Amino acid sequence: MKNILCIGAGYVGGPTMAVIADQCPDHTITVVDINADRINAWNSDQLPIYEPGLLEVVTRARGRNLFFSTDIDGAIKAADIIFVSVNTPTKTFGHGAGMASDLQYWERTARQILANSDRPKIIVEKSTLPVRTAAAMERILNSGDNGLRFQVLSNPEFLAEGSAIRDLMDPDRVLIGGQETEAGRAAVNELVEIYASWVPRERILCTNVWSSELSKLAANAFLAQRISSINAISALCEQTEANVDEVARAIGLDSRIGPKFLRASVGFGGSCFKKDILNLVYLCRSYGLHEVADYWQQVVTFNDHQTQRFAANITAQMFNTVAGKKIALFGFAFKADTGDTRESPAIYVAKSLIAEKADVWINDPKALKNARSALGDAPVQLEPDPYVAADGAHALAILTEWQSYQKLDYQRIYDSMQKPAFVFDGRNLLDHQALFDIGFNVFPIGRPPLTHLT
C-alpha cells in the first residue's frame, strides 16, 4: 500500500488521480491545491471542471481512497510518491517572456517538498516542462542539509480534455522517464507497477528523463502541426472550389498519414498546444537552433492567422460592417465536451467583433462561466438558450463543435433572425446545404460558400 500525493488539482491532477484511485483501491491518493475553492468543489458534486464520466469515477473513490485537501505540508509528510501537476504557463515577464515556461510554481513546490520531507520520496513530474527540468529539480531537492536523496521521474500526461477519462482508462501509452542508475530504475519500476494495475505492460514505455520530457513537447507540436497543415490547405480550398473535408479524407486514407486530427477549423485552442510549442521554440533558440525554432514557430503563427481570417471574414461578408448588428456565437469552449476556454479561438473572435462594435451574444452548454472570466467586463451577453441568443441576430458563428448545435431547429432560428441571415461555421459542424435551402448564406471553413447574395 502506497501513499500517493498529487500537488495541483486542475484539469490533469484531478482526473488522473481519480482514475488511479479508481483502478488501485489498495493505494491512498490525496490531491492538494493552494486554491481552496477548487478543493471544496472537488469535495462536492459540482466538480470544478466538466469532463464526461468524471463525476462517476470521483464518486466511486472519494472518501474511500481518494481525498482532496488544502493541507499541502501534512500531505507531503505522509506521501511516498508525489506527482506534481501544477500549472506551467508561458512566462509573462523577464527573459523569455511570451515564450519560455514560467517555472516558479514548480520550483516553489520542489522547495516545499524538501522542507516537509524526513525520508526520501519519488517525485513525478506530471506537468509539461522544458527538457532538463527534472534534472534541475533533482538538484534543488537533493541540496538539503538532511542528506535525503530524491528521485525525480518524468511522466507526462497525454490526456485530451473532453475525453480525459477514456484517455486515462485506456491510454495509447504511458511514458516514464528516469535516471539510468540503480536508484533511478527502482523508482521507475515503482511507478510502472502502479500503472500496470490497469494498463497493459507493453504500453508502458520507459526512457531516459530527457527523452520523456522532450516527447511530450514533440507530441503536442506534431498534433498542432497537423491542424495548421490542414488549416493552411483550407485557405487554398476556399480560393479553388476544392472541399477541405474531401481533401482530408483523401489524404487521411493514406495509411502513412492517417485520418485523425485533420479537421479544419477556426484554429486550435486549449491551454497546451500554443504554450508547449512556444516552449519548444524557446528551447531551440536557447541552443542556437534558429531554423528549427522558426519551423515550429510557424505552426503557431499560422494558427493565429487562421483565427484572424475567420473573424475578418465575418465583417467582410456582412457588407464590411457589423457595427450595431447582433451576432450570436455558438460555442465558446476551445473544443466540445469541456467547459475550458483557455486560448479558445472564440476569445479572439469575440474581441474582434466587439472592436467592430457588434452586439455579441454568446451561447455555450458548459463554458459560460469561463467565458465571462476570459472576457472580463467586455460588453457581451451570455445566453444559455441558443434560440434566445440567435433571436434577431444577423449572423451565427459556430465556434465549438458541440453536437447539440446539430440538433437545433434551424428553420425556427432562421425565422427569428434578421435577413439576409448568415452562418459562419468555424467547425464545419452543420449541414450546409440544408441551411442554404432554408435561406441562410453559409460560409464554411475550406469549402466554397453557399450564398443567395448576388
* Interface residues toward ligand UDX, by CB under 6 A: 157-161, 220, 223, 227, 261-263, 265, 268-270, 272-273, 334-335
Q: Name the burial class of residue 76, with classes exposed (0-12), middle (13-18) and buried (19+) by CB atoms within 10 angstroms of its CB.
A: buried
Which CB atom, from 223 or from 396, has the smaller least distance to ligand UDX? 223
Question: Among the residues of 44-103, which ranges form H helices?
Answer: 54-61, 72-78
Question: How many angstroms separate the CA atoms of 89 and 128, rounded?
Answer: 10
Sheet holding 326-330, edge to edge: 380-382, 359-363, 326-330, 395-398, 422-425, 441-443
- In whole angstroms, the minimum distance from the beta carbon of 251 to ligand NAD comes to 27
Question: How many angstroms separate the CA atoms of 429 and 398, rounded?
Answer: 8
Residue 33 interacts with, from ligand NAD, ligand UDX, none (CB under 5-8 Å by kind): ligand NAD
Which CB atom, from 75 or from 272, has the smaller least distance to ligand UDX? 272
List residues near ligand NAD by CB under 6 A. Answer: 7-13, 32-35, 38, 72, 85-88, 105, 108-109, 127-128, 157, 159, 161, 271-272
Of the candidates 384, 407, 410, 382, the one whose C-alpha atom is nearest the C-alpha of residue 396 is: 410
Residue 262 interacts with, from ligand NAD, ligand UDX, none (CB under 5-8 Å by kind): ligand UDX
- In whole angstroms, the minimum distance from the beta carbon of 261 to ligand NAD comes to 15
Which CB atom, from 268 or from 361, has the smaller least distance to ligand UDX? 268
- In whole angstroms, the minimum distance from the beta carbon of 304 to ligand NAD comes to 20
- In whole angstroms, the minimum distance from the beta carbon of 335 to ligand UDX comes to 4
Give the count of beta carbons closer than 10 Å to the beta carbon of residue 258.
12
- In whole angstroms, the minimum distance from the beta carbon of 441 to ligand NAD comes to 36
Residue 8 interacts with, from ligand NAD, ligand UDX, none (CB under 5-8 Å by kind): ligand NAD
Helix or strand (DSSP H, E) at 441: strand 441-443
Return the C-alpha cell found at 306. 487562421
Residue 105 interacts with, from ligand UDX, ligand NAD, none (CB under 5-8 Å by kind): ligand NAD
Give the count of beta carbons closer than 10 Å to the beta carbon of residue 385.
9
- In whole angstroms, the minimum distance from the beta carbon of 103 to ligand NAD comes to 10
Angle at 293 (CA atoms; ends 292, 297), nearest 5 degrees: 120
Residue 367 interacts with, from ligand UDX, ligand NAD, none (CB under 5-8 Å by kind): none
Which CB atom, from 261 or from 295, has the smaller least distance to ligand UDX? 261
Question: How many angstroms separate the CA atoms of 161 and 83, rounded?
Answer: 19
Provide φ and ψ at 107, rounded to 5°. -65, -40
Residue 335 interacts with, from ligand UDX, ligand NAD, none (CB under 5-8 Å by kind): ligand UDX
- In whole angstroms, the minimum distance from the beta carbon of 57 to ligand NAD comes to 16
Which CB atom, from 158 or from 295, has the smaller least distance to ligand UDX? 158
The answer to whether 87 and 9 are in contact (CB under 8 A) is no
Hey, which residues are catalytic here? 272
Return the C-alpha cell found at 333. 469552449
Question: Among the residues of 272-324, which ranges form H helices?
Answer: 273-286, 290-317
Grouping H, G, I as helix, E, B as strand and the rest as coil, residue 69 is strand
Which CB atom, from 160 or from 242, has the smaller least distance to ligand UDX? 160
Which CB atom, from 88 or from 225, has the smaller least distance to ligand NAD? 88
Residue 263 interacts with, from ligand NAD, ligand UDX, none (CB under 5-8 Å by kind): ligand UDX
Grouping H, G, I as helix, E, B as strand and the rest as coil, residue 61 is helix
The answer to whether 86 and 198 are in contact (CB under 8 A) is no
